[in-house]
């Protein structure tokens, strides 16, 4: 019986946690916790609430390293969480997605340890290289706060792609770059304002104002049920570049631009394909 | 080093587990071993010293130079450098011993004509550990925020002295093992006391650090290995794998008691008033963000693989907690 298995599974999990009998890796990734506690509700959210349509999951390598580069939006980084949930669920090997996050995340109590437990680590070259060299699927959101925190009027317009650090890392390690285009996250919390003094006071990058938040309080923090599409694009091979290219600003810039353009064009195409943002 | 039996080894800190075990072990291989300490070893340390000679001398005392010259010491193992004070009251004294002692000892080595290799014990605390640092530290990682004040700062200073000694005496090989927290059934450190708190162990609310351990026997084995291996420079030493602080507390059969970081000083004071030892806010700060060491250099170049993983080392300590209870 299915529910019996579920109960037994949960009892086993609780016992393992009670005894401290589980494993975390060097970065703090806790596979047991992520798969038993985090992924089931996220999967539900992805399938039933955002009705995520996944395109090109076969572009992710079955094993071995790859650097996923995605657009970032939605006021809160729900898009990152959903992408990780989709990869863990739909990939034939159910691979964990190791995400690179802003240092603000790891500074924050509760959020910091949770991010590490679910496979994230600090967005720095050292960590990214180490993960790729050990053959992991790594995801990076080069727009950072400029992407998540942009006003609703700027939706689906890619922001600046940092300094191209992710490209250097891919070139150094020879890992393929996979452009990921996410449509739908822009509409979950339409950002119409930013209370800067409050953000400064709380030490957060911005304090979002949406049509429902903070007006409706916690109720306003419920994301709007937009229709999502996530496309994993064709891998860009980086093994052809020599070791020096990683330090060559022109090579890095070109490749950064190529990835950015690919994502931007895919976003426009997916937007047409989706139609209505909520009924789509 | 080609004639190990002709080697004369000086080991510091032989009243403690690490120094005494190491001295006894090296003496058993037929080397002449001189163990020094400012205090007299107790019965158990004396038993571990076995055939090693003991000289009661403070390493801050200029006589240490005389001992090195008279015995023709070839290898100096500074096992008492960067030890952590067990009690807060001993903090000033330990700092003085650690930092000034190392300075004096290295000055004596610099004047010596016989010393060929020096091993200075260090700690992974030199990496500090802030949320803005990479998850894993290699020997060449420069931490974002330098080591804070306190013992970590002292350890960084000690490494500084060791490096400048190595520059002044390029003919002497200087190895600097950076140990993760040493743990086991015998050693007593602030951390073993912390995990001994019963039944609840205070932790910072909303934080869960990654921690690594080295088993006490592995620590002794490594220092012995370094005494006979050509290797110079810093090297990370940690058992394979990682535990989280909460996980370690569960493995020790304790319960984690989350307390907001702001209230930690008050808790610390309350525990002190209740005469419960083994807890300090400073200790806890080190356990807020955690750090993990890359041990590639240790296993590949130095050629040493710890017998105990981080978890096995901790379980060995946890078993001793249970039998003591």
Put simply, the answer to whether B242 touches A116 (Cβ < 8 Å) is no
pLDDT one-digit tens code per residue, A152-209: 999 999 999 878 889 999 999 999 999 999 999 999 999 998 999 999 988 888 899 9
Q: Which pLDDT tens digit goes with each residue over A86-120?
A: 999 999 999 999 999 998 899 888 999 999 999 99
In percent, the amount of chain B with pLDDT more than 90 equals: 63
Query: Collapsing DSSP states into helix, strand and coil, what is residue A179?
Result: strand
Q: Is A244 on the interface with B (CB under 8 A)?
A: no
Any CB–CB contact under 8 A between B285 and chain A?
A: no
Q: What is the pLDDT of residues B130-145, one digit of tens each?
A: 888 899 999 998 877 6
d(CA B259, CA B256): 9
Check residues B90 and A211 and name the one with the higher pLDDT. Answer: A211
ipTM of the shown complex: 0.88
Taking residues B275-291, report their average pLDDT: 71
Q: Is the pLDDT of residue A146 over 70?
A: yes
Average pLDDT, integer, range B146-168: 85
Predicted pLDDT at A1: 57
Report the length, in residues, of chain B: 325
Please write the tens of the pLDDT for every residue from A32-90: 999 999 999 999 999 999 999 999 999 999 999 999 999 999 888 999 999 999 999 99
B107 vs B86, residue with greater confidence: B107
Asked whether residue B49 carries a pLDDT value surpassing 70, the answer given is: yes
Q: From CA B13, how far away is CA B45, in angstroms rounded?
A: 10
pTM above 0.80, yes or no: yes
Kindly tell me if the per-residue pLDDT of B312 is higher than 60. yes
Mean pLDDT of B114-120: 96
pLDDT band (50, 70, 90) for residue B1: very low
A contacts of B241 (beta carbons < 8 Å):
23
- Residue-level pLDDT at B92: 74
A23 interfaces chain B, CB cutoff of 8 Å: yes
- Residue A7: pLDDT band with limits 50, 70, 90: confident
Mutate which: A26, A33, A134, vs B, most B CBs within 10 A: A26
Q: Which of A21, A22, A109 has the most B C-beta neighbours within 10 Å, making it the best mutation to test the interface with B?
A: A109
pLDDT at position B86 over 80: no
Partner B, chain A 84-143, Cβ-Cβ below 8 Å? 103, 106-107, 109-110, 112-113, 116-117, 121-122, 124, 126-127, 130
Residues B110-115 have a mean pLDDT of: 94
pLDDT in tens, B184-239: 999 988 888 889 888 888 888 888 999 999 999 999 999 999 999 999 999 999 99
Residue B3 has pLDDT above 90, yes or no: no
Contact B249/A20, CB-based, under 8 Å? yes
H/E stretch holding B154: helix B151-168
Look at residue A10 in the predicted model and tell me its pLDDT: 86
Chain A hits for B204, Cβ within 8 Å: 109
pLDDT of res. A236: 96
| pLDDT > 80? residue B85 | no
Q: Minimum mean pLDDT among A131-145, A206-220, B44-58: which range?
A: A206-220
pLDDT band at B11 (very low <50, low <70, confident <90, very high): very high
Measured distance CA(A108)–CA(A202) in Å, rounded: 11
Which residues are within 8 A (CB) of B317 and not within 5 positions of it... i.e. 6 or more apart? B183, B184, B185, B192, B195, B213, B252
Task: Spell out a b/e string for A66-93, using b for 16 or more CB atoms within 10 Å of the CB, else e.
Answer: bbbbbbbbbbbbbbbbbbbbbbbbbbee
Q: Which of A25, A30, A103 sits opposite B132 (nearest CB)?
A: A103
For B261, the closest chain A residue by CA position comes to: A109
- What number is the average pLDDT over the span B169-193? 93
Query: Roughly how many angstroms between the first and final C-alpha of chain A, as a whole number?
Result: 36
Backbone dihedral region for residue B253 (phi beyond 0: left; psi -120 to 50: alpha; all else: beta): left
CB contact under 8 A, B207 and A112: yes
Residues of A in contact with B135 (CB under 8 A): 26-28, 116, 121-122, 127, 130
* Cross-chain CB nearest to B250 (options A20, A24, A113): A20
Longest Cα separation, chain B: 58
Report the residue of B130, B132, B203, B208 to disrupt the A interface, i.e. the one with the largest count of A CBs within 10 Å.
B208
Q: Are A129 and A74 in contact (CB under 8 A)?
A: no
Q: What per-residue confidence (pLDDT) applies to A262?
A: 97
Evaluate if residue B2 carries a pLDDT over 60: no
Nearest residue in A to B260, CA atom? A109
């Amino acid at each position: 019986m299915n529910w019996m298995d579920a109960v037994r599974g949960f009892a086993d999990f609780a016992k393992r946690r009670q005894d401290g009998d589980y494993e975390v890796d060097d970065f703090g990734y806790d596979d047991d916790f992520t798969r038993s506690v985090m992924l089931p509700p996220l999967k539900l959210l992805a399938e039933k609430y955002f009705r995520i349509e996944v395109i090109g999951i076969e572009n992710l390598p079955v094993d071995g390293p790859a650097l996923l580069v995605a657009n970032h939006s939605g006021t809160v980084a729900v898009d990152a969480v959903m992408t990780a949930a989709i990869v863990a669920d739909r990939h034939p090997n159910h691979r964990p997605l190791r995400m690179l996050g802003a240092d603000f995340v790891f500074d924050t109590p509760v959020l910091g340890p949770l991010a590490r437990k679910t496979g994230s680590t600090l967005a720095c070259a050292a960590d990214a290289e180490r993960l790729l060299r050990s053959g992991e699927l790594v995801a990076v959101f080069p727009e950072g706060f400029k992407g998540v925190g942009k006003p609703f009027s700027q939706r689906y317009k890619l922001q600046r792609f940092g300094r191209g650090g992710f490209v250097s890392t891919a070139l150094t390690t020879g890992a393929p770059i996979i452009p990921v285009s996410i449509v739908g996250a822009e509409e979950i919390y339409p950002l119409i304002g930013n209370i800067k003094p409050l953000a400064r006071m709380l030490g957060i990058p911005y304090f979002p104002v949406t049509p429902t938040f903070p007006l409706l309080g916690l109720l306003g923090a419920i994301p709007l049920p937009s229709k999502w599409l996530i496309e994993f694009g064709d891998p860009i091979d980086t093994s052809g570049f020599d070791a020096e290219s990683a330090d060559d600003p022109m090579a890095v810039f070109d490749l950064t631009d190529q990835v950015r353009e690919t994502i931007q064009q895919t976003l426009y195409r997916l937007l047409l394909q989706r139609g209505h943002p909520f009924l789509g | 080093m080609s004639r190990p039996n002709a080697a004369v080894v000086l080991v510091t800190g032989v009243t403690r587990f690490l120094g005494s075990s190491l001295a006894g072990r090296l003496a058993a291989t037929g080397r002449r071993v001189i163990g020094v300490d400012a205090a007299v070893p107790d019965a158990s340390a004396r038993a571990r010293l076995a055939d090693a000679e003991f000289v009661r001398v403070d390493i801050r005392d200029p006589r240490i130079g005389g001992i090195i010259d008279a015995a023709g010491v070839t290898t100096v193992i500074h096992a008492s450098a960067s030890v952590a004070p067990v009690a807060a009251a001993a903090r000033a004294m330990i700092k003085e011993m650690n930092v000034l002692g190392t300075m004096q000892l290295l000055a004596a080595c610099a004047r010596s004509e016989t010393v060929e290799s020096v091993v200075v014990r260090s700690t992974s605390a030199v990496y500090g550990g802030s949320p803005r640092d990479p998850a894993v530290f290699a020997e060449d990682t420069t931490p974002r925020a330098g080591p804070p004040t306190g013992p970590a700062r002292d350890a960084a200073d000690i490494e500084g002295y060791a490096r400048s000694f190595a520059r002044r005496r390029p003919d002497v090989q200087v190895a600097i093992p950076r140990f993760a927290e040493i743990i086991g059934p015998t050693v007593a450190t602030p951390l073993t006391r912390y995990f001994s708190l019963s039944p609840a162990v205070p932790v910072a609310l909303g934080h869960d650090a990654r921690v690594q351990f080295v088993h006490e026997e592995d620590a002794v084995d490594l220092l012995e290995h370094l005494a006979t291996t050509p290797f110079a420079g810093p090297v990370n030493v940690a058992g394979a794998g990682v535990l989280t602080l909460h996980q370690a507390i569960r493995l020790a059969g304790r319960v984690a008691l989350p307390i907001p970081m702001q209230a930690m000083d008050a808790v610390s004071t309350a525990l002190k008033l209740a005469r419960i030892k083994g807890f300090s806010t400073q200790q806890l700060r080190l356990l807020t963000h955690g750090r993990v060491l890359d041990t590639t250099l240790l296993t590949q170049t130095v050629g040493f693989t710890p017998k105990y993983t981080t978890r096995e080392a901790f379980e060995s300590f946890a078993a001793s907690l249970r039998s003591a209870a």
